[in-house]
Structure 1
Amino acid sequence: MKSWPYPRVAAHRGGGTLAPENTLAGLRTGASFGHTMVEFDAKLSADNVVFLLHDDTVERTSNGYGAAAHMRYAELAALDAGSWRDARFAGEPMPTLAQVAAFCRESGLAANVEIKPCAGRDAETGRIVGAETARLWAEDTKADIAPLLSSFSYAALEAARESAPDLPRGLLFERVPADWRAQTAALGCLSLHASHRHLDEALVERIKSAGLFILAYTVNDLDRARQLVRWGVDTICTDRIDLIGPRALDD
């Protein structure tokens, strides 16, 4: 029987709204609040280094400009990805997946690695991120919880399944489509991840009855988080890591 080893709460992009997203500072912030699971976005640089960034371009979360897919990792690493959030994070870089994996292993953090391909690089990104994730976490013989791969891109998750068949997978949706059963089954998914705004109790029941676990994002209201858990949602991903603490949704 399938099991869900992940905690009730995951810190969105590491530190939610309290730290620059997708940085080691963000992960440290999430851990400092006692969270034991972090979610972050992984994509490829022009020279195929797996690093953390949500957007296709770098300007929103750094002092750089342009498409990340056209930049080598050395260029990306030189950018300041912290000051946009707060001056105390000045100089915080965009980390590699290798750096993040080391931090997660050292800190005992479970990880949801969201594969975030740039346009036209879905399969390539899925293949490389999957293989890198499997390799990096395999270095930790004490890791009890395997990293969870997820993506909005069917092609990326399909490629990750080929390169990292033993890692659990979750298909991401904004609004759950009519063919969710077929898509998740074809990918051998452990879970379905969806925006909480489009979930209701009946839909959660149907998904759970199909044998899937559910991760709901991005839930920043404690009452709503508790309602989702009552319906059967397994993990809540939140920006409000201070309001929805690691034990806030325990039975």
Structure 2
Amino acid sequence: MKDWPYPRWVAHRGAGKLAPENTMAAFRVGAGYGYRMFECDAKLSADGVPFLMHDATLDRTTNGTGVGGETPWAELSQLDAGGWHSRAYAGEPLPTLENLARFCIANGYFLNIEIKPTPGVEAETGRVVADHAARLWQGQAVPPLLTSFRPESLQAAMQAQPQLPRGLLLDTLWNGWFDIARQLQCVAIVCNHALWDAATVAQAKGAGMRCLSYTPNDAWAVERLIALGTDAVITDRVDLFSPS
């Protein structure tokens, strides 16, 4: 991408910790703080519906139990995904990727979709999420940014919808990460913010890739990233950092 269309400030899972993550309520809260770009986690239900949830299991963020990817959407859609956070959000449902897409498109918001596959369906998740993203954002000026820790998911997304921009997520600088990112034609590297230093930023930018960070939540950390010349921060602290 010669022109980078995305803003610097990205709200992690909608609104960080101020609302139940990966719910429509969270994205509305993040928008209320002035955020114009959001990060979400997308995985597949047992019957292939892309929905928003971070964990492989339902237990932490819903009133359900078991593996989300082994549960059909008809059951997932009935779960309470807000009560775990606070009583104010009790009854908040799990959204589909399509729910969030319609919200973002209607309001001119940008989206970073982390492909978060249930173990064992990495490639299928990458393909299906990419196909849905291409359909939902068809005709829109700025597509969503697809990212993943799993190269298999990004590979499948690239094969399915090569025109969609991709970014490799890193929690460590494992051997071969740079070569894999180039093979996947990534437009961005999305690192744990502590991994960035001047040399790594120069390496990524020298290959034409943007430098994004998760999840810096303190002013000193964000100041360091800006000084290094990184391009975006994905933060929980939507209440601390004002995008304006």
Q: TM-score range by the shorter chain?
A: over 0.9
The alignment status of 1:118 with 2:118, answered yes or no, reads yes
Q: Give 1:198 shift.
A: 1.8
Partner of residue 27, structure 2: 27
In the alignment, does 2:205 pair up with 1:208?
yes
Give the TM-score taking structure 2 as reference length: 0.97
1:46 counterpart letter in structure 2? A
Per-residue displacement from partner, 1:191-215 (whole Å, max 9, x unpaired)? 1111012222222122212211011
- 2:38 is aligned to 38
Structure 1: distance between partners of 2:228 and 2:143:
25
Q: What's the CA shift for 1:154?
A: 0.4
Using the TM superposition, name which of 206-215 and 234-243 deviates more: 206-215
Cα distance in 1 between the residues matched to 2:224 and 2:49: 40
Stretches of structure 1 lacking an aligned partner (at least 5 in a row): none
Shift of 1:162: 1.1
Cα distance in 2, alignment partners of residues 179 and 244 from structure 1: 34
In the TM superposition, structure 1's runs of 4+ consecutive aligned residues that sit over 6 Å from their partners are none
SS at match of 1:98: helix
Residue deviations 1:125-171, cap 9 Å, x none? Answer: 00000000110011xx4x33210000001000000011111110001
Offset from partner CA, 1:188-246 (integer Å, 9 cap, x none): 11011110122222221222122110110011012211220121110100000110121
In the TM superposition, what is the alpha-carbon distance from 1:178 to its structure 2 partner?
A: 3.8
Displacement after TM superposition at 1:122 (Å): 0.3
Matches within 5 A, 1:131-150: 131-138=131-138, 141=139, 143-150=140-147
Q: State the one-letter code of the partner of 1:18.
A: L
Q: What is the CA-CA distance between 1:99 and the residue it aligns to? A: 0.6
The answer to whether structure 1 residue 188 and structure 2 residue 185 are counterparts is yes
Cα RMSD, aligned residues only:
1.1
Q: 2:60 aligns to what?
A: 60
Q: Distance in 1 between matches of 2:153 and 2:242?
A: 31
Question: Would you say the 8 A contact 1:181–1:210 is kept in 2?
Answer: no
User: How many residues get paired?
Assistant: 244
| Equivalent of 1:175 in 164, 172, 175 | 172
Contact persistence 1:15–1:27 (CA under 8 A): yes
Runs (5+) with no aligned partner, structure 2: none
Letter in 1 for 2:129: V
* Match of residue 227, structure 1, among 224, 229, 234: 224
Q: Please state how far the C-alpha of 1:180 moved relative to its aligned partner.
A: 2.5
Work out whether residues 43 and 125 of structure 1, in 8 Å CA contact, stay in contact via their aligned partners in 2: yes
CA distance in 1, matches of 2:117, 2:35: 27
Q: Is the 8 A contact 1:80 1:93 kept in 2?
A: yes
The separation in 1 between residues aligned to 2:52 and 2:39, in whole angstroms, is: 11
| Cα contact 1:205–1:232 (8 A) shared by 2 | no
Give the conservation status (yes or no) of the 8 Å contact 1:124–1:159: yes
- Report the identity percentage: 48
Higher mean C-alpha deviation, range 221-230 or range 96-105: 221-230
